[in-house]
A = this chain, B = another copy of it.
């Protein structure tokens, strides 16, 4: 399974074929040592396996470049966080059917399509530690394979058979595109406010997290309050997740560990660490940000200086504190659910997203 899923580090019980019941879950004691992502994956292991099978099946095309390019990204060890939310929400609602599998696959396809197009838009060279598809195959196939995956996502939603779920996911896709355009406009713009930034993050990242969780609850017909609870959970989790991502991109510790940092800086994106650091900057630091972000005139030593400035001004700490607040709000939104293993792990997931160092 680990090969199929590209999730080798997940500690799922071997040989599980159908949905697990609570008795089976409590048997997997050693999963407690792993992250909440791994434990949630274990709770919906069979569903995620079925989702992965659908994902690989629907990447297929007689035009071989399409699966070649799509698999490069799909098999690159993404965390499958978004489909995980769909599966967990459906499971939490006691859903017994199989439509959540198509929806989870559709959610991952939308995410993959946006990554392909993002990498073209950002002219990225790396994605998940691998050379980005746009570098290997060029921008043209990346744009077109993104379109193919979008279309496949909607075909999968049709199989899901629920028009109101389709509406939620189509709406989220439109909002993601709006968020990406907003982000383009805020690049190089030091007048970007924290509110502007939050609007971008809510649209480009949180909208799909929200729709992923909400649609799982909808397919389980859990009632309006629980559906709304999952929507808010997903949205707040998504904001927290992106805030931490943006903090990590200026992390000196990450850089020391050999991990990629500075992508946002090089692209002159005005993320929250920069908004906060710029607001607290002295005259010399302001000139630094104006040159490197507003004018985009950077040299090799600037990233180190940028990291020092965001750390000195407490901008990283404060970005993480903001993320923690959103994570708290995410957990709060799940108070509509009765206590369960899934609910506990979803709460742990929100905390984990804030504390993670990668």
The reply on A147 being an interface residue by CB < 8 A is yes
| Nearest CB of chain B from residue A295's CB, rounded to whole Å | 19
Contacts of A121 in B (CB 8 A): 139-140, 143-144
The reply on A170 being an interface residue by CB < 8 A is yes
Q: Chain B residue with minimal CB distance to A66? A: B181
| Nearest CB of chain B from residue A37's CB, rounded to whole Å | 28
Q: Considering residues A65, A141, A147, A178, which has the most beta carbons from chain B within 10 angstroms of its beta carbon?
A: A147
Contact at B163–A147, with CB atoms within 8 Å? Answer: no
Q: Chain B residue with minimal CB distance to A110? A: B151
Q: Considering residues A167, A177, A185, which has the most beta carbons from chain B within 10 angstroms of its beta carbon?
A: A177
How far is it, in angstroms, between the C-alpha of A174 and the C-alpha of B144 when the chains are bound?
Answer: 10
**1/0 contact string of A136-160 vs chain B (CB within 8 Å):** 0001110111111011101100100
Residue of B120, B141, B167 near A181 (CB, 8 A) is B141
Contact at B143–A61, with CB atoms within 8 Å? Answer: no
The majority secondary structure among interface residues of chain A is helix
The reply on A94 being an interface residue by CB < 8 A is no
How far is it, in angstroms, between the C-alpha of A152 and the C-alpha of B63 when the chains are bound?
Answer: 27
Number of copies: 2
How far is it, in angstroms, between the C-alpha of A176 and the C-alpha of B145 when the chains are bound?
Answer: 11
Q: Chain B residue with minimal CB distance to A187? A: B140
Contacts of A114 in B (CB 8 A): 147
**1/0 contact string of A242-266 vs chain B (CB within 8 Å):** 0000000000000000000000000
Contacts of A166 in B (CB 8 A): 154, 158, 166
**Residues 18-35 (chain A) with a chain B CB within 8 angstroms:** none
Given A161-B163, A173-B154; A63-B148 close (CB under 8 Å) = no
The reply on A171 being an interface residue by CB < 8 A is yes
How far is it, in angstroms, between the C-alpha of A144 and the C-alpha of B61 when the chains are bound?
Answer: 24
**Residues 23-82 (chain A) with a chain B CB within 8 angstroms:** 61-63, 65-66
The reply on A337 being an interface residue by CB < 8 A is no
How far is it, in angstroms, between the C-alpha of A145 and the C-alpha of B66 when the chains are bound?
Answer: 22
Contact at B65–A185, with CB atoms within 8 Å? Answer: yes
How far is it, in angstroms, between the C-alpha of A276 and the C-alpha of B120 when the chains are bound?
Answer: 36
Q: Show the binding face of A for B, using Cβ within 8 Å.
A: 61-63, 65-66, 113-114, 117, 120-121, 139-141, 143-148, 150-152, 154-155, 158, 161, 163, 166-167, 170-171, 173-174, 176-178, 180-182, 184-185
